């Protein structure tokens, strides 16, 4: 089994650019599959879940390859998110496995819901959804307990490796492959084939004209190259620990919000109480959380992402049924015969039933 994995790793590193392009292409296909044939949404989500799981495995292999090869030098420094999550994954094995398990559950949760909807009753389906939310809440609490900092989303490093920057295969190119024999040296170029002529001086007509504008000021040139405070910090110090009870309460409310929403929705799907409660918890967490400093870009970006996710409430509960859904249906009907907008309208018509039928398409 180890030899099979070693060969696959060798194949991945050798064809990483092609595999990345294939993953991106297949992931684009999953957006247009729903509505094309019977159970197309199940096939689309199965493909999407498989791609996400395989991509996470590929990211792990590429990270091991980069760390084991001293010749690799990234053109762009890793983002604060990647530095932070990778540092915690390397520092604590509990964080690594809790984060990977949480991300794996998020990859397959919609596929599990589709299977439960087809094989079990509505009551058992919602039991399964609540069970998944309990697992996710427990894993987020584990991450919060380990780091004592706000839980990032996603909690694992993202792929930031440029395939063109990977060094050629060497003895250290694969941690699981046996060292290969050193390559033989290339034959030297014969003397009669070498370019031994002396270059002629450049003709005045071929000399480039002088610059028409003044050069950039020194400050404008040096500013993009200057180190920021986050660049010199330790990776685990990119986000400050939670100190006050108010900070802890804000994070606990944010973690409990999806579980409370799923439990209330499983018991009452006709009233507005689940939606209003989730919105209330959302704004309570937002008002209780601390204001990050300007020198904390990682925490600021995480809170900005959470604020943007509030837009998803337009696709939930009574807001979706009474306001968002009628407007989208009117747009799809009005653009049915338009040359280009008709494609967008057809895409919206295919996705509206999925939002009605499945919880995890718009779940918090």
Query: How many Cα neighbours within 13 Å face the side chain of 325?
Result: 15
pLDDT digits (tens, 9 = 90+) for 304-349: 999 999 999 999 999 999 999 999 999 999 988 888 888 888 889 9
Looking at the chain, the number of H-run helices and the number of E-run strands are: 14, 0
pLDDT digits (tens, 9 = 90+) for 75-88: 678 889 999 999 99
- Looking at residue 181, its pLDDT comes to 47
Distance, CA of 8 to CA of 28 (rounded, Å) = 24
pTM comes to 0.81
Asked if residue 165 has pLDDT above 50, the reply is yes
217 versus 57: the higher-pLDDT residue is: 57
Spatial separation of the C-alpha atoms in residues 221 and 226, rounded to whole Å: 9
Burial class (CB in 10 A: 0-12, 13-18, 19+), 152: buried
Query: What count of other Cβ atoms lies within 10 Å of the Cβ of residue 276?
Result: 13
pLDDT at residue number 171: 45
């Amino acid at each position: 089994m180890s030899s099979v994995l070693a060969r696959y790793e060798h194949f991945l590193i050798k064809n990483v650019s092609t595999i990345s392009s294939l993953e991106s292409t297949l992931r684009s296909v999953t957006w247009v599959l729903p509505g094309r044939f019977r159970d197309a949404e199940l096939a689309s989500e199965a493909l999407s879940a498989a791609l996400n799981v395989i991509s996470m495995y590929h990211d792990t292999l590429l990270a091991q390859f980069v760390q084991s090869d001293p010749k690799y030098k990234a053109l762009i420094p890793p983002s604060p998110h990647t530095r932070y999550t990778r540092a915690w994954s390397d520092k604590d094995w509990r964080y690594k496995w809790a984060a990977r398990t949480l991300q794996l559950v998020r990859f397959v949760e919609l596929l599990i819901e589709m299977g439960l909807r087809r094989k079990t009753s509505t009551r058992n389906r919602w039991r399964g959804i609540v069970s998944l939310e309990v697992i996710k809440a427990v894993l987020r609490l584990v991450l919060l307990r380990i780091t004592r900092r706000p839980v990032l989303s996603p909690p694992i490093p993202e792929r930031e490796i440029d395939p063109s920057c990977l060094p050629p295969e060497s003895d250290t190119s694969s941690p699981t492959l046996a060292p290969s024999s050193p390559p033989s040296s290339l034959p030297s170029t014969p003397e009669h084939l070498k370019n031994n002529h002396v270059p002629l001086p450049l003709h005045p007509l071929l000399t480039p004209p002088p610059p028409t504008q003044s050069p950039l000021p020194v400050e404008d040139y040096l500013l993009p190259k200057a180190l920021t405070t986050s660049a010199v910090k330790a990776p685990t110090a990119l986000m400050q620990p939670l100190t006050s009870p108010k900070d802890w309460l804000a994070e606990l409310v944010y973690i409990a919000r999806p579980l409370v929403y799923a439990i209330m929705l499983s018991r009452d799907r006709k009233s507005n109480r689940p939606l209003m409660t989730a919105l209330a918890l959302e704004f309570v967490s937002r008002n209780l959380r601390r204001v990050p400093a300007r020198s904390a870009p990682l925490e600021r970006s995480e809170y900005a992402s959470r604020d943007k996710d509030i837009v998803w409430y337009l696709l939930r509960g009574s807001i979706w049924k009474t306001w968002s859904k009628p407007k989208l249906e009117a747009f799809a009907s009005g653009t049915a015969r338009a040359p280009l907008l008709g494609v967008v309208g057809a895409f919206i018509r295919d996705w509206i039933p999925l939002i009605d039928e499945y919880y995890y398409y718009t779940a918090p």
